[in-house]
């Protein structure tokens, strides 16, 4: 019965994802009827509509799937490890480290070497935060999670201050690049980078599934998990690395997109429960749906101009979260 319910939930999310994808492909300044999309895919090569769908809208959708799914996955992993519903990559400073790495990349002019320097610098920044958090929180070969959380919050503030310092010292052109990137966007034109991000998100989702039983055991507490035979310290190390890589790539490719890793896991727990065997996949799909939907709104709200998608996720995610909190639905 439980497996059937899980399958129905995943099927429902996949259908909803398909609906959101079709809507995103269809809606825009140049509206394309959904009924016409099939003929464009099959016979429209060379036409203006084909170019709009394949060169502009479809890459954004694929990147939205990868970024939304990855941020939600990172949020699920970190919340499961800390047993704290308010923990996410931004809370731990992982996003701040990735943002600082990419900002340095822009200021130093390394971005001229290619867009692939962004995920490299972002991952290095996120990894540096993880290394610092790990060694500052290790006591007798054990990672103290609560101390790690407090250090992460402070790192987040420090990283934000350093990014603002770089912005204040930058030229107008560099400042514009940092500000545009910080606000978040799915307008990445490099299909190779999009493919890398999508592949990375799917691979790390598969890696996370190897630890779904470990996360379920950690929900009972670290001592109980050890009694169940879970290698707690090794599990924490691997999951920290997974979260750092996911966050580093997301921030470096799409900028600072908030609330996805915080809000989506909360609501998926209410729908599918706390079992990570279903929660990981469901949150990944729901994160993709949420971000593609927000990006579609960002393109439409002030068309022909475009809002940064981070603005939409912040307003929508924060508002929904506060509403749920006021009703006692967040726990």
pLDDT of the residue at 320: 73
Per-residue pLDDT of the chain (331 residues; tens, 9 = 90+): 677 888 888 899 999 999 999 999 998 888 788 888 878 777 767 778 888 888 888 999 999 999 999 999 999 998 888 888 778 777 778 778 888 888 888 887 755 555 667 777 877 887 788 788 777 776 655 666 666 777 888 888 888 888 888 888 877 777 777 777 777 788 877 788 888 889 999 999 999 999 999 999 988 888 888 888 888 888 888 888 888 788 878 887 888 888 888 889 988 988 888 889 999 999 999 999 999 999 999 888 887 778 888 888 888 777 777 776 676 655 5
Helix (H, G, I), strand (E, B) or coil at 264: helix
* Residue ranges of domains in the chain, CATH in brackets: 12-325 (1.10.3470.10)
Q: Which residue has the tokens 């060169």?
A: 55
Do the Cβ atoms of 313 and 294 come closer than 8 Å? yes
Do the Cβ atoms of 237 and 134 come closer than 8 Å? yes
pLDDT of the residue at 293: 94
Q: Render 163-218 in DSSP notation, one character per residue.
A: HHHHHHHS-HHHHHHHHHHHT-------HHHHHHHHHHHHHHHHHHHTTHHHHHHH
Number of H helices, E strands in the chain: 15, 2
Helix (H, G, I), strand (E, B) or coil at 139: strand
Do the Cβ atoms of 152 and 92 come closer than 8 Å? yes
CA of residue 172 relative to chain centroid, distance: 29
């Amino acid at each position: 019965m439980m497996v059937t319910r899980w399958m129905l939930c995943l099927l429902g999310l996949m259908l909803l994802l398909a609906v959101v994808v079709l809507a995103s492909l269809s809606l825009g300044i140049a509206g394309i009827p959904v009924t016409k999309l099939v003929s464009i895919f099959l016979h429209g090569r060379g036409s203006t509509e084909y170019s709009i769908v394949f060169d502009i809208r479809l890459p954004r959708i694929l990147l939205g799937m990868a970024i939304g799914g990855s941020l939600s996955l990172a949020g699920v992993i970190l919340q499961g490890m800390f047993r704290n519903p308010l923990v996410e990559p931004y809370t731990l400073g992982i996003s701040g480290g990735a943002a600082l790495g990419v900002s340095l990349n822009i200021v130093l002019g390394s971005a001229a070497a290619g867009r692939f320097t962004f995920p490299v610098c972002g991952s290095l920044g996120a990894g540096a935060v993880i290394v610092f958090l790990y060694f500052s929180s290790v006591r007798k070969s054990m990672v103290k999670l609560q101390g790690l959380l407090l250090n992460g919050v402070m790192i987040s503030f420090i990283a934000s201050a350093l990014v603002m310092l770089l912005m204040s010292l930058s030229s107008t052109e560099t400042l514009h690049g940092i500000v545009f990137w910080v606000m978040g966007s799915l307008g990445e034109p490099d299909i190779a980078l999009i493919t890398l991000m999508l592949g990375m998100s799917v691979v790390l989702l598969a890696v996370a599934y190897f630890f779904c039983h470990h996360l379920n055991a950690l929900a009972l507490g670290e001592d109980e998990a050890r009694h169940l035979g879970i290698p707690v310290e090794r599990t924490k190390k691997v999951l920290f690395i997974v979260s750092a890589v996911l966050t580093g790539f997301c921030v470096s490719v799409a900028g600072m997109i908030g609330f996805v890793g915080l809000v989506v896991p909360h609501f998926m727990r209410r729908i599918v429960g706390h079992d990570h065997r279903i929660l990981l996949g469901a949150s990944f799909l729901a994160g993709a749906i949420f971000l593609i939907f927000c990006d579609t709104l960002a393109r439409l709200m002030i068309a022909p101009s475009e809002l940064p998608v981070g603005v939409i996720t912040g307003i929508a995610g924060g508002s929904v979260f506060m509403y749920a909190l006021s009703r006692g639905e967040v726990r």
